[in-house]
Structure 1
Amino acid sequence: MPASRPGAGPAGGTPVHRKARPGAPPGFFACEAAGLRWLAAAGGARVVEVIDVAHDHLDLVRLRHVPPDRDAARAFGAALARTHDAGADAFGVPPDGWPGDGWFGPLDAPLPMRAGRYSTWGPFLAECRVSPVATALRDAGLTTRDDDVAFDRLVALLHDGRWDDGDAPSRLHGDLWQGNVVWTAQGVTLIDPAAHGGHRETDLAMLALFGLPHLDDVLGAYQEVHPLRRGWRHRVGLHQLYPVAVHALLFGGGYVEQTRRVLHAARP
């Protein structure tokens, strides 16, 4: 079972948060540590510091939470834009220091997250996210024939480049829901990434998926650093399809119908 342990760091003075899972997939924690270090190297949004990593645990500096506020939200929005602007070598690449596929989802039940190297975003999304999750949903008996047809159509449109816009690959957190955004006295600090090279709108859509305090302030400050392409709000559902579908696989229930709604609403 997953566990966390408060304690002191190697020198006895740094509070430690230990993420642990006996029997974790090989490299699971090394991949997360590489993602945290890659994001931190961007010099943008604050990222929790890695103290130690082993096959069955990851030790991080323990964070102290404070209430969200608008000033911190605006600082975070500007910093996140700088993180994205630090870029990646290609769409789909894993973080520096990790050579292969990653994982997406909760500590006790992460799903494999395919890596790759693509010059454009659409084929990456089709082959590394949409096709694998569509197959998994179908194998689990969670799709209808109409859903399967809609997934096939979406994959074809993505391969055709219908949503490609020339934006360079961004350095993404990759699982940026509000639970991985920690408000501290030093500013917003990011935890638990599924880091990869992708489209900047994906992280922003994740922030909106389960709600984030002061999201409008975050987005406003983000756009002061890097204005978003016209129509980005209409593409939020497309960027949310993969995480919602993963929730449908893991938890079923209302996430299945939410996946269906997002899927059938996807239009170029």
Structure 2
Amino acid sequence: MNAREAIERLHGGRVARVSPRGGSISVASLEGDEAVVAKRGVGPGATAAEAAGLRWLGEHGDVPVPTVYGHDDEWIVLEYIPPGAPSKQAAEELGRGLAKVHLRGAPAFGSPPPGGPAGAWMGVAPMRNESHPDWPSFYARQRIEPYVRMCVDQGLFTAGQVAIFDRVCERLPGLAGPPEPPARLHGDAWNGNVHWSDRQAWLIDPAAHGGHREGDLAMLQLFGAPLLDRILGAYAESAERPLADGWRDRVELHQLFPLLMHAAVFGGGYAGQALSAARKVLRLT
């Protein structure tokens, strides 16, 4: 099935024009001037995970997310949001909205969105969402150890370097800061998944799960984002539950997962960045 067929079956209406946007994404114009996005899933469960994640994040209207028009095992069809320029107002609204989303909570650390599969994805990397009783055990077993093993299989880490990540996992209860309830996370909130329209900043392409709210804030900082200080400032000022002391010192701890995932998928310098982050984390104890 191609993008045109997927849109007409999952959303309805006749497609007038399909414009590929690279990779697995196409933007289509329907008769009547409506525009939609069609995405082919990267692997099993990807479209179901994205659909469930967007609905979960957008459930209360705290942050703008695209409407899901339909999905099957191969395709997902979404609302098209015309791009615009970042603005201070939109950045601050995103920060306040993200704080509200996080406090909506999740059933457990590692739990998938309602209706979402345990076997999910972060970009093109497979990711497991399985419930754990606390954040340190979830983060070690589902977000650090699997990707370290993938890197070892590719010859990216030596035994001595693996031992550094093992020490991080052993010390996670003392590194994680004060215990918090599970937050409702976007899960992949890097700059590329913040879509700016004329008036708002939308969250797209989630890897949603129950996790630690500092994880989304760390992702925003990993590759930089427009008006980042405005986003983080509005988040900190508006959160009904203030961020725990030392949260800025724990940024590298929460960035370990995306760095390891990037190393496992793309190799190159990400392995070195992950090692540097792990060493810095250990110096906090």
Q: Structure 2 CA distance, aligned partners of 1:210 and 1:230?
A: 23
Of the candidates 198, 219, 243, which is equivalent to residue 228 of structure 1?
243
* C-alpha RMSD of matched pairs (Å): 1.7
* Contact in 2 for aligned 1:43/1:82 (Cα 8 Å): no
1:173 to 183, 186, 193: 186
**Separation in structure 1 between the aligned mates of residue 214 and residue 119 of structure 2, nearest angstrom:** 21
Residues 42/90 of structure 1: CA separation in 2 closer, same or farther (3 Å cut)? farther
Q: Which residue of 1 is the match for residue 232 of structure 2?
A: 219
- Equivalent of residue 41 in structure 1, options 47, 59, 63: 59
The residue identity in structure 2 corresponding to 1:167 is E
For 2:275 and 2:261, how far apart are their aligned partners in 1? 12
Offset of residue 161 of structure 1: 5.0
What's the CA shift for 1:166? Answer: 2.2
Instruction: Name the larger-Rg structure.
Output: 2
3-state secondary structure, aligned to 1:74: helix
46, 50, 53: which is aligned to 1:28? Answer: 46
1:93 and 2:111 matched: yes
Q: Where does residue 14 of structure 2 map in the other structure?
A: none
Matched, 1:15 2:53: no
What's the offset of the Cα at 1:176?
0.4
> In structure 2, which of residues 99, 112, 125 is the aligned counterpart of residue 81 of structure 1?
99
1: CA distance between counterparts of 2:211 and 2:121? Answer: 15
Structure 2 match to 1:255: 270
1:5 aligns with 2:50: no
Q: Write the distance in 2 (CA, Å) between the matches of 1:257 and 1:81.
A: 32
Query: Structure 1 residues 228 and 74 mapped into 2: Cα distance closer, same or farther (>3 Å)?
Result: same
CA contact (8 A) 1:122 1:164 kept: no
Equivalent of 1:243 in 243, 247, 258: 258
TM-score, normalized by length of structure 2?
0.87
Query: 1:26: how far off?
Result: 2.5
Do structure 1's residue 137 and structure 2's residue 151 form an aligned pair?
yes
Matched, 1:61 2:79: yes
The equivalent residue for 1:116 is 130
8 Å contact 1:18–1:60 — kept in the other structure?
yes
Structure 2 distance, partners of 1:205, 1:27, is: 26
Runs of 4+ in 1 over 3 A off after TM superposition: none
Q: Is the 8 A contact 1:76 1:188 kept in 2?
A: yes
Paired residues, number? 260
Partner letter of residue 216 of structure 1? D
Name the CA distance, whole Å, in 1 between partners of 2:249 and 2:278: 13
Q: Secondary structure at the match of 2:111?
A: coil
- Correspondence 1:148-227 to 2 at 5 A: 148-158=162-172, 160=173, 162-226=175-239, 227=242
Q: 5+ unaligned residues in a row in structure 1: which ranges?
A: none
Q: What percentage of residue pairs aligned between the two structures are identical? A: 43
Q: Which amino acid is the alignment partner of residue 126 of structure 1? A: A
